[in-house]
Structure 1
């Protein structure tokens, strides 16, 4: 992988990871369109891409640092220091929110651990990525029509069982072409959340999954003797961080502005169009 290729992958990943358009799907199709198929078949490609995800995770942690600080602090207060403010309503609310995040993280964490090898096979298939990008687009559009009209519920009202269901939606993003943020937002919308709350829950849910994937994959860069790839991963992670932070800022403003509109539909149509283009490309090549 050249430095130019690494930067392009990083910009693409940082921009599309949090948008509901599937960074994995784009990461598979970029080598196809650019003629870099040898790069994507390299055994160090997936660890490199996960290193880029760590840049995304750092961007999410920085953007939502106040949320994570409050959630962690109040959960500890609620569990161990009830006599020192742990029984306050706001503290209990944040502790419950942490419980929702844990419940929502379980499905993707378990399935990711069990299906790691199969994911590697799917990751190298442009046909699968193209097909599921189309599925992703269709689901985003359909969800806007199926969501409850006039409902904009809050996370504080979300039952624990429904948080688990939203997490199950997130686990579908293990398939390249299905967007983690998009499919998780769909789960949130279908369970009564508004666009902004669904996006916030999606971003918070994705953070531990992305960090966990990095902890598992990045060490493989060292074990495989990828000294040259390591400096590309560091540079790419920095680029991915800047792109992801900017994208998060813009998306949160977007979903806040279009709370009652079909905000996911434009992303859905984009995915459908890209799926068709990729399908035609594969058929002609």
Structure 2
């Protein structure tokens, strides 16, 4: 993998990890339809993948640093009674929302890994992801609750929605935002919670790959490219998060529709390319 391909994939990761269009789906489909000579299962791709995830997680921590600082100090009992109580409540919600993906991902890891290298499957699920976003906007609860009203049962439901992202082509942020909408949380609150629970998921996935990485002999050139890609992915993810939070703050009606149409068109186009070329 050359530097240009690495930077292109890093930009793709940084943007699509947060946009509701499935980073994993794009990572599987695009190299196949563009005929990039990249073996995503090779030992050399592992450090690259780990660094991309690290860059994205760092960007999320940087953007929401106030949230995480408040959570950290509150959980440790630092601050006033209201701050401590609210921080521990939000921390509990994040844990509850994260558990379903951890458990289901662990139990079905081998099955989901078999789908990772199947571009046709990923493209098909990109189309389904678009349909999910369209349906999600139409079945959303008509309530206009903000994030402060989120309850443990809401977080658990959103956590199960997040499990859909284990399938290449299904967006983690898209599924969790739809999950929030069905619980009556507005777009901004749903997106905010989606990005908060993304951080432990991405960091957890990175940590799980580190033991494998320690047993691999990583060429110096690969590590250098991986570091560059991590920085690019992190900057892209930070800008994407800033854009999306502003977008969802200003659009609380059919806000997911543009992303839905994109997924459907891109998925169908990818299927056509895969079958015709």
Q: Same fold (TM over 0.5)?
A: yes
Matched, 1:103 2:96: yes
Q: Which runs of 5+ in 2 are unaligned?
A: none
In 2: Cα distance, 1:271 partner to 1:109 partner: 26
Shift of 1:221: 3.3
**Is the 8 Å Cα contact of residues 6 and 232 (structure 1) preserved in structure 2?**
yes
Pair 1:3–1:191, CA change in 2 (3 A)? same
Which residue number corresponds to residue 124 of structure 1? 117
Matched, 1:23 2:15: no
- How many matched pairs? 276
Q: Which runs of 5+ in 1 are unaligned?
A: none
Cα deviation digits, residues 134-162 of structure 1 (max 9, x gap): 1110000111111122x221233222122
RMSD over aligned Cα atoms: 1.6
In 2: Cα distance, 1:268 partner to 1:68 partner: 30
In 1: Cα distance, 2:228 partner to 2:211 partner: 17
SS in 2 for 1:192: coil
Matched, 1:205 2:188: no
**Is the 8 Å Cα contact of residues 31 and 39 (structure 1) preserved in structure 2?**
no
Residue in structure 2 matching 1:134, options 127, 134, 138: 127
Which residue number corresponds to residue 152 of structure 1? 144
**Is the 8 Å Cα contact of residues 166 and 187 (structure 1) preserved in structure 2?**
yes
Pair 1:37–1:138, CA change in 2 (3 A)? farther
Which residue number corresponds to residue 63 of structure 2? 63
SS in 2 for 1:40: coil
Which residue number corresponds to residue 181 of structure 2? 189
**Is the 8 Å Cα contact of residues 74 and 94 (structure 1) preserved in structure 2?**
yes
In 2: Cα distance, 1:116 partner to 1:43 partner: 18
Which residue number corresponds to residue 265 of structure 2? 273
Cα deviation digits, residues 211-236 of structure 1 (max 9, x gap): 01111114433422122422222111
In 1: Cα distance, 2:14 partner to 2:157 partner: 27
Which residue number corresponds to residue 248 of structure 2? 255
Shift of 1:132: 0.6
Shift of 1:51: 2.3
In 2: Cα distance, 1:46 partner to 1:122 partner: 17
Pair 1:36–1:42, CA change in 2 (3 A)? farther
Shift of 1:210: 0.3
